[in-house]
């Protein structure tokens, strides 16, 4: 199998969305919106920040990266039991191997302090969960266009140019 084919295969496997949300109702609605928006990535739902850290660390039962890939995007609630979203963001800052995984906070909090703190700890986006499903669907489409679509366009562009991240054949434009 060629290097490009291996990269494409591994990229497809790793193009998951990690949804970290303690509310079953909110998780269901976000997953429904992702599905209706036509987002093809596998969605992996975890119920709290502690599960997210275990998953991202590859701790059992998440140690099989074929089944539990590093996500292309993390959608993270802030207010959760056991380990909050802010604590997960702080933990992520200690993990250079996960530095390229964008984290978008999906929260019920409209507090500007929460937004500032999330951004300070590395969140690339902060979205307040809307009440109406149509608004949630539009928000998911925006997240897709900004974060997932850009990731997929970069992968396709790199494949066309023969630049395969992680193979040492990247070309720098800086």
pLDDT tens profile 25-45: 999 999 999 999 998 889 999
99: CATH:
3.40.50.2300
Q: Binning pLDDT at 50, 70 and 90, where does residue 149 land?
A: confident
User: What's the pLDDT score for residue 40?
Assistant: 82
Phi then psi for residue 142, to 5 deg, are -65, -40
- Which domain does 119 fall in, by range? 12-159
User: Using an 8 Å Cβ cutoff, are 144 and 37 in contact?
Assistant: yes
- Residue 109 near residue 78 (C-beta atoms within 8 A): yes
Cβ count within 10 A of residue 111? 12
Question: What six digits make up the tokens of 76?
Answer: 């993270």
Global pTM reads 0.78
Does 94 map to a domain? yes
pLDDT surpasses 90 at 113: yes
How many domains, the chain? Answer: 1
The answer to whether residue 138 is domain-embedded is yes
Q: Is residue 165 pLDDT above 60, yes or no?
A: no
User: Does residue 133 lie within any of the structural domains?
Assistant: yes
Longest dimension (CA), the chain: 51
């Amino acid at each position: 199998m060629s290097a490009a084919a291996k990269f494409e295969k591994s990229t497809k496997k790793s193009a998951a969305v990690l949804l970290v949300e303690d509310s079953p109702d909110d998780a269901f609605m976000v997953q429904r919106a992702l599905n209706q928006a036509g987002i093809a990535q596998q969605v992996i739902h975890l119920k709290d920040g502690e599960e997210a850290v275990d998953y991202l660390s590859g701790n059992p039962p998440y140690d099989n990266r074929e089944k539990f890939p590093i996500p292309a995007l993390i959608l993270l609630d802030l207010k959760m039991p056991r380990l909050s979203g802010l604590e997960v963001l702080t933990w992520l800052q200690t993990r250079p191997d996960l530095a390229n995984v964008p984290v978008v906070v999906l929260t019920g909090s409209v507090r500007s302090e929460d937004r500032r703190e999330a951004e300070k700890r590395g969140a690339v986006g902060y979205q307040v969960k809307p009440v109406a499903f149509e608004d949630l669907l539009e928000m998911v489409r925006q997240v897709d266009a900004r974060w997932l679509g850009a990731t997929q366009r970069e992968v396709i562009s790199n494949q066309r140019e023969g630049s395969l991240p992680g193979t040492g054949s990247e070309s720098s434009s800086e």
